[in-house]
Structure 1
Amino acid sequence: MGFSARAPIVTCGLAGRPAALGAMPVVMLREEAVALVGRIYEAAAIPEFWPGVLGSISRSIDGVGACLFTPDGRWIASEAFAEEVDLFISRGWLERDTFNARLEASGRGGFVCDLDLFRREEIDREPVYADWLHPRGLGWGASSLMRLPHERTVFINVERRRGRGPVETPFVRHLNQLHPHIARAAMISSHLALERTQAASSALQMVGVPAALLRPGGRVEHANGLFLQLQPQPVRECSAELVLANARAQAELALTLAEIEGGHGLGRAIALPAQGERGAYVLHVMPVRGAARDVFSACTAMVLATPVVARPVLPADLLVSLFDLTPAEARVAHKIAAGATVETIAETLGVSRETVRSQLKAALAKVGLTRQAELVGLLASIPAGHPRMGDAQ
């Protein structure tokens, strides 16, 4: 729906002055409406503009504030309303609010008001109204939902003071004239947020860091080529969903993602033990943050994988020359330094664990060490370009 010369546009009063209680809504000038639509599309490209736009939308119906939020509690609000929204969500009221569930179940398009979904006696009994909104002088508003790509739902709520009364029909018409523009702007913001996060992943590829972007539930939005190469070890699967080969690490990943999606996770570093020929890695799980991108981005987390051994491990044949190891002892020492365990070495080489332990013990003795960790530290500290014994200096 556009703004034609005949379409009534209503606001709280001329020059933005609040309308008196019971006064008839005043028609907004067409030029003002067009300017507001222009600002909505500016916010689509520049997320930092959304708080100001939401404030203007709220004032246009004589409201006190407006916000955009997702069912999992990410939000952005007009400046004067931000503290209220923050408290509402952080204290768990969003999960107890039945309005949004009724709105979604109703299948209604456009903006819907409180009395469209509740009877007055229900409102008086509903905990969110009785225990949160009404004590704060709030309780009348208009809301709508928007479906975005990647199974995303974003709600918009415009709130009024309780004493101002329910949102009148002309104001609802005004919001519905804005609705398609808000929805299109939200769609644009969603696409741009995804492009920004994908660009970050591609940049990490350029500097040699395996990275992937995750949607809720560990679903993979994007993985760069280096991350894909970690399959099947230590990453078992990363096409539809990120699944780690190690069960303990997978449990830690699931817990970390749940904390991030719940809005109280700061990320975590997860150890990925060596698997077969692949060395050990550390998986760094980080939340995707940032103003409106919290609302519009389909991604909730970025994961980076870094090898435990930063420099190349000395080749086994070089260990033979440097420390007078047998080829079998050198192979075991090389794999231990690369992060492999006795069990995985035995499986890879097709020998018993006792044989591997015996060869490791012999290698330690020849090098003059007693602990496996000391061997790893020593071999990691020697540059891979160290000359062979007897080579010309």
Structure 2
Amino acid sequence: MVMLREEAVALVGRVYEAAAVPELWPDVLGAVARSIDAAGACLFTPGGAAARWISSPDMSSALDEFVAGGWLEHDGFNDRLLASGRNGFVGDLDLFAAEDLVVEPVYADWLYPRGFGWGAATVMRLPHDRTVFLNVERHLGRGPVEAPYMAHLNQLHPHLARAAMISSHLAWERAHAAGSALQIIGTPAALLRPHGRMESANALFQALVPHPVRGFDPDIVLADPRAQEKLVASLARIEAGSPFGQSIPIPPHEGGNAFVLHVLPVRGVARDVFSACVAMLVATPVVAGPVLPAAVLVALFDLTPAEARVAHRIAGGATVEATAAALGVSRETVRTQLKATLSKLGVTRQAELVGLLSALPTALGREAPP
């Protein structure tokens, strides 16, 4: 039975809530699927190793398997949908003849053996050249999506498209705000899209041309060839899903400063689909300086206050034991918070944390509170 009007209005409300709170998207996708008696739904953007997706909870394991098997890049339905230029939701039989479905590889070799095979999908074009598909999948025995259910999906479509647009815009704003915050405290920073394509850079980062940055039109190129090789490799790992960044040394040029370029993954719920950015670059000259106050570390790197206090003391040269004693907590607590901090900052070793935080210049003119 198609949803009652009150239920449909409530679902639209949930869609707009997810626009502002991306953690809600999986549950909203599940509600959209249930509204047409489907097994689940997903949002995804293709792109080989850089493909990203969100799904309803009951579809997450199947979608992970689908992507891991390379099927996302060889889905004939999505290829035809994109080529058709059609707006709104379409069903399997809108793009394929019934006799063609049984020999189409994604149906015959993946969907049918797993009990799926009927559904509906739409494609949404977002800012920053993002193409996002929304697929709703039914079990094979349930049959094609009936006309009343398709009409229901198409009534939801403009709301889903607007919500996706809002999520994309907010994701960009959050990432851009981090770069702006680093500008305020005197740190060059840039945001990168897949394959090293520059999304934005603050004025301090732009001033690094021609050294240590040769240029970025539109792909970033470092002046030092070995550093460029490391940057390309680091970005490839991040695009493939690695949560770890890298610190890349850049030698001095004509009497200038040497630099360390910190490559930090842009992470967060739903950023994979809605954000064009995959990494932030932070460039710091190799000059000794004070460690940023703990309160600033909270704002810049999304640390908890406890994590920021630990990070500040460790970066300032304190041991785990001394930090635990100073903060009145156990060594195990400090180690747990330090591990969480390393993950959030995209580094893997304590030495990299010290290098990153002690190299960041500060224009605040004060030390962290005790």
Moved more, 68-77 or 54-63: 68-77
Are 1:31 and 2:6 an aligned pair?
yes
2:321 matched residue in structure 1: none
How far apart, CA to CA, are the structure 1 residues paired with 2:144 and 2:160? 22
Give the partner amino acid of 1:199.
Answer: A
How far apart, CA to CA, are the structure 2 residues paired with 1:253 and 1:116? 45
Deviation at 1:311, TM superposition (A): 5.2
1:82 matched residue in structure 2: 60
- SS of the residue corresponding to residue 125 of structure 1 reads coil
How far apart, CA to CA, are the structure 2 residues paired with 1:27 and 1:125? 31
State the Cα deviation string for residues 66-118 of structure 1 (Å, max 9, x = none): 01111122111111111111221123221222221111011111111112222
2:16 matched residue in structure 1: 41
2:39 matched residue in structure 1: 64
Matches within 5 A, 1:185-204: 185-204=163-182
Q: In the superposition, relative to structure 1, how do residues 128 and 258 fare at CA in structure 2: closer, same or farther (>3 Å)?
A: same
1:306 matched residue in structure 2: 284
- Return structure 1 stretches of 4+ with deviation > 4 angstroms: none
Are 1:135 and 2:113 an aligned pair?
yes
2:237 paired residue among 245, 259, 269: 259
1:218 matched residue in structure 2: 196
State the Cα deviation string for residues 6-52 of structure 1 (Å, max 9, x = none): xxxxxxxxxxxxxxxxxxxx242211111111111111000011111
How far apart, CA to CA, are the structure 2 residues paired with 1:273 and 1:70? 38
How far apart, CA to CA, are the structure 2 residues paired with 1:140 and 1:66? 12
Are 1:168 and 2:150 an aligned pair?
no
Larger-Rg structure: 1
> Percentage identity across aligned positions?
65
1:341 matched residue in structure 2: none
- SS of the residue corresponding to residue 67 of structure 1 reads strand
- Structure 1, unmatched stretches of 5+, are 1-25, 313-393
State the Cα deviation string for residues 287-334 of structure 1 (Å, max 9, x = none): 21222121101111111112234359xxxxxxxxxxxxxxxxxxxxxx
How far apart, CA to CA, are the structure 1 residues paired with 2:181 and 2:68? 34
Are 1:116 and 2:99 an aligned pair?
no
Matches within 5 A, 1:242-391: 242-264=220-242, 266-310=244-288
How far apart, CA to CA, are the structure 1 residues paired with 2:75 and 2:151? 25
State the Cα deviation string for residues 336-387 of structure 1 (Å, max 9, x = none): xxxxxxxxxxxxxxxxxxxxxxxxxxxxxxxxxxxxxxxxxxxxxxxxxxxx
Give the partner amino acid of 1:174.
Answer: H
Contact 1:74–1:263 (8 Å) recurs in 2: no
Contact 1:190–1:297 (8 Å) recurs in 2: yes
How far apart, CA to CA, are the structure 2 residues paired with 1:213 and 1:233? 18
Deviation at 1:120, TM superposition (A): 2.6
State the Cα deviation string for residues 170-204 of structure 1 (Å, max 9, x = none): 11111011001000000011110001001111222
Deviation at 1:141, TM superposition (A): 0.7
Q: In the superposition, relative to structure 1, how do residues 265 and 101 fare at CA in structure 2: closer, same or farther (>3 Å)?
A: farther
TM-score norm. by structure 2 comes to 0.74
How far apart, CA to CA, are the structure 2 residues paired with 1:171 and 1:264? 39
- Structure 2, unmatched stretches of 5+, are 291-370
Give the partner amino acid of 2:99.
Answer: E
**Structure with more contact order per residue of length (Cα contacts < 8 Å, sep ≥ 6):** 2
Give the partner amino acid of 1:62.
Answer: D
How far apart, CA to CA, are the structure 2 residues paired with 1:84 and 1:267? 29
TM-score norm. by structure 1 comes to 0.69
Give the partner amino acid of 2:68.
Answer: S
Q: Matched residue pairs, number?
A: 287
1:346 matched residue in structure 2: none
How far apart, CA to CA, are the structure 1 residues paired with 2:74 and 2:256? 47
How far apart, CA to CA, are the structure 1 residues paired with 2:131 and 2:11? 24
- SS of the residue corresponding to residue 35 of structure 1 reads helix
Contact 2:2–2:148 (8 Å) recurs in 1: no
Q: In the superposition, relative to structure 1, how do residues 181 and 138 fare at CA in structure 2: closer, same or farther (>3 Å)?
A: same
How far apart, CA to CA, are the structure 2 residues paired with 1:259 and 1:119? 40
